[in-house]
């Protein structure tokens, strides 16, 4: 009987509750100990103990020997566990009472046993009352507990406190209150464990941002290792370059650890085991380029600081840039713009490397100071820019008159360049002084971009090395840069594909309406609506877009869009979360143009409308008065999705609903909800009950004579609920109908058998009467015929009598 007694699992209970539990546990322990004592046999009468035996002598009380048992350490913390364990031991090894073998106890012991028996009875009664009370409380808790459905992945579960979890049925021991130091050690141990066994999910933001940081390091090394060909950069930023090298090298080292702790999918599950993640990283062969990228070739800089290309081994990490590009294209909402940005970055890197090669080639051949037609770099080709102080919009003389009709102005301008310089020198100008690096890099990158893109307009090569450099650049331009330009063309084509599709559909609609002679006003409305759909990216059907996703994710999206709206509808407020999860997936989108009617008065009501965007107007067609305006988030016609017996309006609309402008409306059809209600009997009853209550509040429901709702007025036999029944319920109802028909057919058959037997008896009686009086009947019939014929034809009577005798 004590196994059904449960502890008060109230996580908010304080010290007083724990003391009450301990006190109650002592009573249970005492009751369990008394249960182990032998009961009086049948031969011993139960007489009341004498007064002198009211107190039990101390020598009759068995004191258990003191031992270092396990229960001594537990008794102070959880006495109820001791009582439960001893009672389980008592049930496993019960005391067998045999009245034939046992000897009657002495008089004093008998009195003590009687007193213990009486005390034990009181304890048992108290325990039974407590057990019944706690069982009733547990039953109430289970009744009021919210229903747990399979939609826990969509709806957040109720939080469970640590104390309530500690008092679960799996652990009957009361947890000891931890001290502050114990809590600190537990938190510290948990934090250390998380740090040691950390992991990074492949789809997490941490993994994405870390990949971006590593890609930045690769991009930095790609640009910096070649730019030190320019003396100004080498002399001014060599120390800073070494410091940044150390930072990004440390990032590359940490990246090995991060990749070794990156989760992966195996058989559809995310693997988070440390050993398995490391094994997957090694088997993926990524560890080899990562180790090669960390080769300490930077030590060569101690021998020769100008060998900056020793860091080219860091480019083995270039695959991390591809990882970043792929992840970015998955996460961004502007995929085309992102792809173009990456292609532009690739072009710049190509131009940058080629510009550095061009300047290095110029250094080997020697820099020219005053030759503008030299193939290599020349400072004479790059002047400091000068800006005039006058403004040509206010001063008519602030413009040098050049002959722009010539074919190539650049070929004619050197002839009068000195005259032009004197002209602007008189009017004044501002000189923007450029450093050597700016002049060198700008000229080199300009030559590189024009050469790779094969635009020409550069000095002709005059030596064999210059010819070789020009040929190599041409090959790079034809192969590599052409590939990049082709990728850009594909992106632009994809960006314009939607425009081409729209124009094709628009032309098809125009041709169809013109061919069918559609009214001009209707054509204008159709084209305006089509333009609206294209502007708001609604030409594609939502169902077609979401069909590529698993059903579970479609449910997540539907819950995010419509669940809050449905919860605000009074009709669904008492429905289960699983039922609402099924309903939100049935909502369909429709777009209405200005002055379109969503429904009219007296039409059959079979849809519920949810306003997602726009404005709807509720109109009374009889008076033409606008009764109400529905904005975003409002609902209309919620009672139309369920049939209720006793609805005074029947299944017809009482008002009309019209769109004021362009409106995006989600529609929930009655047939779809009916299919779902077949599988949710409890929600079906709640939905009908809510609908009847709402109709009663509006005065649109048939009520009893006292004006009250008859909630028992609907059941499975209701004709309006046939479509709401599940297949099993319909089969059950059909079985009942068949049985009723069988009973009716049995009654009809019994009645038919009884009537057939009755008429058979009457027919038999008639036959017997006819057989017995056949001659008399025949003579009477002839006589009757004779009388008739005598009156009609005057036939002699004698002839008839002779005929009758014959």
Confidence of residue 755 (pLDDT cuts 50, 70, 90): very high
Q: Taking 90 as the threshold, does the pLDDT of residue 101 lie above it?
A: no
469, two tokens: 């450099």
- Among 315, 329, 542, 357, smallest CA distance to 448 is for 357
The answer to whether residues 594 and 662 touch, using CB atoms and an 8 Å cutoff, is yes
**Of 123-132, 349-358, 571-580, minimum mean pLDDT range:** 123-132
230-236 long-range Cβ contacts below 8 angstroms, 24+ apart: 230/359, 230/436, 230/437, 230/440, 230/441, 231/436, 232/435, 232/436, 232/437, 232/440, 233/437, 234/306
Tell me, what's the pLDDT at 639?
85
Distance (Å, rounded) from C-alpha 717 to C-alpha 746? 23
Query: 155: closest CA among 556, 551, 549, 668?
Result: 556
Distances (CA, A) of 107 to 37, 60, 90, 98, 220: 17, 12, 27, 19, 103
**H or E segment at 628?**
strand 625-630
Q: Residue 253: which of 224, 307, 295 has the closest Cα?
A: 295
pLDDT at 428: 76
Integer angstrom CA distances of residue 210 from 274, 290, 295, 370, 793: 19, 15, 22, 50, 132
Cα(137)–Cα(687) distance, integer angstroms: 29
- Does the structure show a pLDDT above 60 at 98? no
User: Does the pLDDT at position 110 exceed 60?
Assistant: no
The per-residue pLDDT for 674 is 85
Average pLDDT, the chain: 76
Strands 588-592 and 635-636: unpaired
What pLDDT is attached to residue 34? Answer: 44
**Quick one: average pLDDT of 559-586?**
86
In tens, the pLDDT along 669-680 reads 888 888 888 888
Q: What is the pLDDT of residue 467?
A: 87
pLDDT confidence band for 91 (50 / 70 / 90)? low
538 with 505: CB under 8 angstroms? no
pLDDT at res. 640? 85
- Strand-pairing partners, residue 608, are 668
Burial of 694: CB neighbours in 10 Å, binned 0-12, 13-18, 19+: middle
DSSP 669-730: EHHHHHHHHTT-HHHHHHHHHHHHHHHHHTT-B---TTS---GGG--TT-GGGTTTS-HHHH
155-179, pLDDT tens digit by residue?
444 444 444 444 344 444 445 566 7
Mean pLDDT of 53-77: 45
Q: How confident is the model at residue 2 (pLDDT cuts 50, 70, 90)?
A: very low
Q: Contact, 441 vs 230, CB < 8 A? A: yes
Positive or negative: CA dihedral 594, 596, 601, 605: negative
CA-nearest of 337, 198, 354, 352 to 274 is 198
**Residue 75: C-alpha distances to residues 71, 72, 79, 82 (Å):** 6, 5, 5, 6
pLDDT of residue 321: 94
CA dist 241 and 298 (Å) reads 12
If one compares 70 and 457, the residue with the highest pLDDT of the two is: 457
* Whether the predicted pLDDT of 524 surpasses 70: yes
Surface-to-core class of residue 251, CB atoms within 10 Å of its CB (0-12 exposed, 13-18 middle, 19+ buried):
middle
pTM here is: 0.58
Query: Is pLDDT at 625 greater than 70 in this prediction?
Result: yes
| C-alpha to C-alpha distance for 367 and 374, rounded to whole angstroms | 9
247 has a pLDDT exceeding 50: yes
d(CA 116, CA 416): 132
Cβ atoms of 602 and 537 within 8 Å: the answer is no
3-state secondary structure (DSSP) of residue 155 = coil
Residues 278-319: tens digit of each pLDDT? 999 999 889 999 999 999 998 888 888 888 889 999 999 999
Whether the CB-CB separation of 635 and 610 falls below 8 Å is answered with: yes
- Provide the percentage of residues in the chain whose pLDDT is more than 90: 15
Span 705-725, pLDDT tens digits: 666 666 554 554 555 566 677
SS3 756: helix
* Cα separation, 31 vs 639, whole angstroms: 61
Comparing 736 with 119, the larger pLDDT belongs to 736
To the nearest whole percent, how much of the chain has pLDDT over 70? Answer: 72
Distance CA 642, CA 688 (A): 7
How far is the C-alpha of 154 from the C-alpha of 142, rounded, in Å?
Answer: 23
Residue 276 has pLDDT above 60, yes or no: yes
Q: Point out the least confidently predicted range of 98-102, 423-427, 530-534.
A: 98-102
Residue whose entry in the numeric block shows the structure tokens 């058959």: 749
Per-residue pLDDT of 353-367, as tens digits, reads: 999 999 999 888 887
Q: Which residues contact 304 (CB under 8 A, 6 or more apart)?
A: none
- Res 211 pLDDT > 60: yes
Query: Phi then psi for 619, rounded to 5 degrees?
Result: -125, 140
More confident residue, 37 or 279: 279
- For residue 439, is pLDDT > 90? no
Which span out of 426-430, 470-474, 648-652 was modeled with the highest average pLDDT?
Answer: 470-474
Burial 450-487 (b: 16+ CB within 10 A, else e): bbbeeeeeeeeeeeeebeebeeebeebbeeebeeeeee
3-state secondary structure labels for all residues of 197-224: CCCECCCCHHHHHHHHHHHHHHHHHHHH
Q: What per-residue confidence (pLDDT) applies to 336?
A: 84
**3 state DSSP class of 525:** helix
């Amino acid at each position: 009987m004590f196994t059904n007694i449960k502890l008060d699992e109230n996580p908010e209970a304080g010290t007083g509750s724990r003391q009450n539990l301990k006190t109650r546990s002592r009573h249970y322990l005492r009751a369990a100990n008394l249960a182990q004592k032998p009961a009086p046999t049948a031969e011993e009468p139960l007489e009341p103990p004498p007064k002198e035996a009211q107190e039990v002598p101390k020598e009759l009380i068995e004191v258990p020997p003191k031992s270092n048992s396990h229960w001594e350490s537990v008794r102070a913390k959880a006495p109820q566990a001791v009582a439960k364990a001893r009672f389980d031991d008592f049930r496993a090894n019960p005391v067998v009472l045999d009245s034939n073998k046992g000897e009657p106890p002495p008089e004093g012991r008998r009195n003590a046993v009687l007193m213990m028996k009486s005390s034990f009875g009181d304890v048992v009664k108290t325990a039974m009352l407590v057990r019944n009370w706690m069982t009733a409380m547990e039953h109430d808790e289970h009744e009021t507990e919210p229903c747990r459905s399979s939609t826990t992945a969509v709806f957040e579960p109720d939080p469970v406190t640590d104390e309530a979890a500690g008092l679960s049925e799996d652990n009957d021991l009361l947890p000891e209150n931890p001290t502050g130091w114990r809590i600190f050690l537990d938190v510290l141990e948990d934090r250390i464990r998380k740090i040691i066994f950390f992991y990074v999910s492949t789809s997490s933001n941490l993994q994405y941002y870390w990949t971006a940081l590593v890609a930045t390091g690769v991009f930095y090394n790609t640009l910096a290792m070649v730019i030190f060909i320019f003396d100004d950069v080498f002399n001014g930023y060599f120390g800073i370059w070494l410091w940044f090298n150390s930072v990004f090298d440390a990032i590359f080292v940490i990246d090995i650890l991060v990749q070794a702790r990156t989760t992966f999918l195996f058989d559809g599950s995310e693997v988070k085991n440390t050993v398995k993640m490391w094994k997957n990283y090694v088997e993926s062969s990524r560890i080899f380029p990562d180790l090669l990228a960390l080769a300490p070739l930077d030590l060569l800089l101690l021998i020769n600081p100008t060998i900056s290309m020793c860091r080219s081994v860091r480019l083995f990490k270039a695959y991390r840039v591809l990882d970043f590009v792929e992840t970015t294209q998955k996460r961004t909402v502007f995929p085309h713009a992102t792809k173009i940005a990456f292609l532009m970055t690739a072009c710049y890197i190509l131009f940058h490397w080629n510009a550095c090669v061009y300047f290095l080639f110029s250094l080997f051949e020697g820099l020219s100071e005053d030759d503008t037609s030299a193939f290599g770099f020349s400072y004479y080709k790059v002047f400091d820019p000068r800006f005039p102080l006058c403004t040509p919009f206010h001063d008519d003389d602030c413009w040098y008159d050049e002959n722009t009709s010539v074919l190539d102005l650049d070929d004619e301008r050197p002839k009068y360049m000195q005259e032009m310089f004197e002209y602007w020198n008189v009017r004044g100008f501002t000189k923007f002084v450029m450093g050597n690096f700016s002049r060198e890099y700008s000229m080199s990158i300009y030559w590189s971009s024009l050469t790779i893109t094969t635009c020409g307009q550069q000095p002709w090569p005059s030596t064999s090395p210059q010819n070789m450099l020009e040929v190599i650049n041409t090959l790079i331009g034809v192969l590599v840069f052409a590939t990049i330009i082709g990728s850009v063309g594909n992106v632009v084509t994809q960006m314009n594909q939607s425009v081409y599709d729209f124009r094709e559909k628009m032309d098809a609609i125009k041709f169809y309406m013109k061919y069918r002679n559609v009214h001009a006003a209707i054509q204008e409305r159709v084209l305006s609506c089509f333009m609206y759909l294209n502007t708001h990216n609604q030409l594609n059907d939502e169902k077609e877009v979401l069909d590529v996703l698993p059903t579970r994710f479609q449910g997540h999206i539907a819950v995010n869009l419509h669940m809050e709206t449905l919860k605000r509808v009074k009709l669904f407020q008492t429905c289960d979360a699983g039922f609402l999860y099924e309903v939100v997936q049935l909502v369909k989108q429709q777009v209405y143009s200005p002055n379109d009617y969503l429904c009219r008065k007296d039409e059959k009501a079979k849809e519920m409308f949810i306003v997602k965007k726009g404005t709807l107007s509720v109109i009374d067609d009889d008076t033409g008065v606008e009764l109400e305006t529905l904005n975003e988030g409002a609902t209309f016609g919620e009672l139309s999705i369920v049939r209720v017996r006793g609805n005074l309006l029947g299944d017809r609309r009482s008002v009309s609903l019209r769109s004021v402008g362009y409106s995006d409306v989600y529609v929930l059809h009655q047939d779809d909800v009916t299919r779902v209600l077949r599988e949710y009997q409890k929600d079906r009853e709640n939905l009908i009950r809510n609908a009847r209550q709402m109709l009663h509040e509006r005065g649109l429901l048939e009520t009893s004579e006292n004006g009250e709702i008859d909630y028992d007025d609907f059941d499975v036999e209701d004709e309006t609920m046939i479509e709401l029944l599940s297949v099993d319920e319909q089969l059950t109802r059909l079985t009942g109908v068949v049985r009723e028909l069988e009973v009716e057919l049995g009654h009809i058959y019994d009645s038919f058998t009884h009537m057939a037997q009755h008429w058979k008896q009457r027919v038999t009686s008639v036959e017997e009467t006819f057989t017995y009086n056949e001659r008399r009947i025949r003579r009477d019939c002839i006589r009757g015929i004779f009388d008739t014929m005598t009156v009609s034809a005057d036939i002699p009577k004698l002839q008839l009598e002779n005929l009758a005798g014959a």
